[in-house]
Amino acid sequence: MRKKIIEMRGIVKSYYLGTPNELEILHGIDLDVYEGEFLSIVGASGSGKSTLMNILGALDRPTQGHFFLDQLPMENVKDEGLSKIRNEKIGFVFQTFNLIPRSSALNNVALPMLYGGKSRSVRTKRAKELLELVDMTARSHHRPNELSGGQKQRVAIARAMANDPAIILADEPTGALDTHTGRMVMDIFHRLHQEQGKTIILITHNTELALETERTIRLKDGSIVENKINEKIQLEGSYESA
């Protein structure tokens, strides 16, 4: 049996807006994700996808429930420990890229390794390899504002891969891109999944893109309403990139 990389039981997230008004966003989420899975999370805007992703990515803590990341019970981890987990086990890809504006593509990719205490030579070597992987070598010394949206997202994916994380969490990574560049970004995810066996959780609005993944979770008003294996993928074995 494959290793469980994420196990969530009864995850609740509430915001307290003044004493009487408790706003519950996630209502008891149960979720298992296995190593090497390519999972998509879909749902209407405001359904709690990003909230769930922040918990999955150790950026936020649930109000209630149990969450094991790579078998580790997260409720016992202190803030400094969460930083370390984000650095080593998680690779984030955001809709708005979130690159550091004043740093070059190369330095952006190297940044997680800097926080991981890697030496300069190791950082530079690995960052160059990763930029090669996303076909951005020619732009490695450009700053984010000198890059197109698709190029920025490729740099961001390279950065997410920097410390060889257990999971890549991508929150609407194609949301700010046109169909063509969105396609290129999706192809990179497929490659990482197939060639490197990465566990990828993709949040998206786009049901067509969701169908390319192995399994789709549908969120509605903070609850999982559907958990569907994508037959087409199961039959064909794997998605053939164009």
Ligand X SMILES: Nc1ncnc2c1ncn2[C@@H]1O[C@H](COP(=O)(O)OP(=O)(O)O)[C@@H](O)[C@H]1O
- Using CB under 6 A as the binding rule, whether residue 50 contacts ligand X is answered as yes
Q: Which of 1, 19, 21, 45 is the binder for ligand X (CB under 6 A)?
A: 45
Judged by CB under 6 A, the stretch of 46-54, 102-110, 119-127, 153-161 that binds ligand X is 46-54
Judged by CB under 6 A, the stretch of 38-46, 58-66, 104-112, 138-146 that binds ligand X is 38-46
Pairwise CA distance, residues 189 & 177, whole Å: 15
Which lies closer to Mg ion via its Cβ, residue 50 or residue 199?
50
**Cα 209 versus chain centre, distance:** 15
Phi, psi of 153 (to 5 degrees): -70, -35
Which lies closer to another protein via its Cβ, residue 34 or residue 115?
115
Within 8 A by CB and 6+ apart from 212, the residues are 186, 190, 230, 233, 239
- Using CB under 6 A as the binding rule, whether residue 12 contacts ligand X is answered as no
Query: Tokens 């809709």 belong to which residue?
Result: 95
> 76-109 burial string, b = 16+ CB within 10 Å, else e?
ebeeeebeebbbebbbbbbbebebeeeebbbbbb
Which lies closer to Mg ion via its Cβ, residue 103 or residue 223?
223
Which lies closer to ligand X via its Cβ, residue 27 or residue 183?
27
The secondary structure of 169-212 as a DSSP string is EEESTTTTS-HHHHHHHHHHHHHHHHHH--EEEEE-S-HHHHHT
Which lies closer to another protein via its Cβ, residue 77 or residue 233?
77
Considering the complex, what minimum distance in angstroms separates the CB of residue 17 from ligand X? 6
Q: Distance between terminal CA atoms of the chain?
A: 31
Considering the complex, what minimum distance in angstroms separates the CB of residue 219 from ligand X? 7
Considering the complex, what minimum distance in angstroms separates the CB of residue 199 from another protein? 18
Pairwise CA distance, residues 99 & 151, whole Å: 11
Judged by CB under 8 A, the stretch of 26-34, 52-60, 127-135, 184-192 that binds another protein is 52-60
Which lies closer to ligand X via its Cβ, residue 49 or residue 139?
49
Pairwise CA distance, residues 84 & 215, whole Å: 29
User: Among another protein, ligand X, Mg ion, none, what does residue 25 contact (CB within 5–8 Å per kind)?
Assistant: ligand X
Phi, psi of 218 (to 5 degrees): -110, 125
Q: Restricting to residues 68-127, which ones interact with another protein according to CB under 8 A?
A: 79-80, 83-84, 86-88, 92, 94, 98-103, 111-112, 114-116, 120
- Write out the residues near another protein by the rule CB under 8 A: 54, 57, 59-60, 79-80, 83-84, 86-88, 92, 94, 98-103, 111-112, 114-116, 120, 159, 163
